[in-house]
Amino acid sequence: MRKRTELPSVLVTGPFTLAAATSLGVPRARLRQPDFKHVSRGLYRPAGWSFELEAAARALSAASQGAWISHVTAARLRSQLLPPWLSDSEELHLSKPRALPEVRRKGIVGHTVVAFDDEIETADGIRISTRPRTWLDLARQLSLPELVCMGDELVRIPRFNLEGRSEPFATIDGLRVMLRRHPNLQGIVRAREALELMRVGADSGPETLLRLAICDAGLPEPELQIELRPGSEGTPTADLGYRLRRLAVQYDGGHHLLPAQIFSDRRRDKAFEAAGWTVLLLTKDDLADGFTGAIARIKRVLRSAYISPSTAAGF
């Protein structure tokens, strides 16, 4: 029996290009043996390999000169906020400029687009659309609320001690400039609508959806990240609410169930209550019913806390 050519370890752990195998001295005939699968032009993988998105995207990027990873694939690689129906997608999206032939690879969703140099970057060896450009690319696919959620995540101010960065991924003004560059892009109308609804201050998708639900119900737009004592270091904050009415609304997600977080949240809420505020706590159950019950509770509090214009200034 003919002895198989031994392979470098890099070629047995995930997808690879023909060029990579050739550069390592592996003959093409070796890749035709049963322990490998030909994926598409110039791309191979070990026969027993279990799909892993980053490895697949890396190999696809390496095999696609002038193209870049985009759309849902780019969003997933960057852990951008996606709706549940896309959060586990294993689709591989590849974009190319119009100057290159259309993407014709088996199992690959191809796009021919117009993109500017600053809308594409190389991250960890993968040529990929930037976060703002990925948001724009998905405008055609996502609903308006989903697009606003994704956009709010881009423009939120991060906490350096938790995230290691102090600058947002994008700004409202920067996104507006990008949209002006692409007046004929499919989905541009929805992107413009989403941009007008985006706000700095939402720390999660549910917080954005709650704000949108409040506005859709005809209520005044709430303030985001309300500080109990504005300008005071370490002051408790509310996710959103109405300072004039002294109403604080908190959305407590899954991480709020941890004992240490429960203690911190309760101390935060007691501080607001001690200052005469009403605190409404919302959870995933409120999210599940589209915040219908929560909106009714907010309306009741606002009605009971009505302040006449003549006394508002001294409140």
Biggest CA–CA distance in the chain, Å, is 97
End-to-end CA distance of the chain: 91
Q: How high is the mean pLDDT of the chain?
A: 90
Length of the chain: 315
Structure tokens of 293?
A: 């019950």
For the whole model, what pTM was predicted? 0.87
Extended strands (E) in 124-186 = 126-129
Please tell me the predicted confidence (pLDDT) of residue 255: 54
Would you give the distance in Å from CA 140 to the centre of its chain? 15
202-315: in CATH 3.40.960.10: yes
Q: pLDDT tens digits, residue range 161-208? A: 888 888 999 999 999 999 999 999 999 999 999 999 999 999 999 999
Structure tokens of 22?
A: 């050739």
Extended strands (E) in 79-166 = 92-97, 108-113, 120-123, 126-129
What is the mean pLDDT of the segment spanning 89-101?
A: 93
Instruction: Compare 254 and 8 and report the one with higher pLDDT.
Output: 8
Beta bridge partners of 118: none
Please tell me the predicted confidence (pLDDT) of residue 123: 94
Name which of 32-41, 119-128, 187-196 the model is least confident about: 32-41
User: Domain map of the chain by residue range?
Assistant: 10-50, 66-200, 202-315
| SS3 labels along 4-39 | CCCCCHHHCCCCEEHHHHHHCCCCHHHHCCCCEEEE
Please tell me the predicted confidence (pLDDT) of residue 45: 87
Beta bridge partners of 123: 126
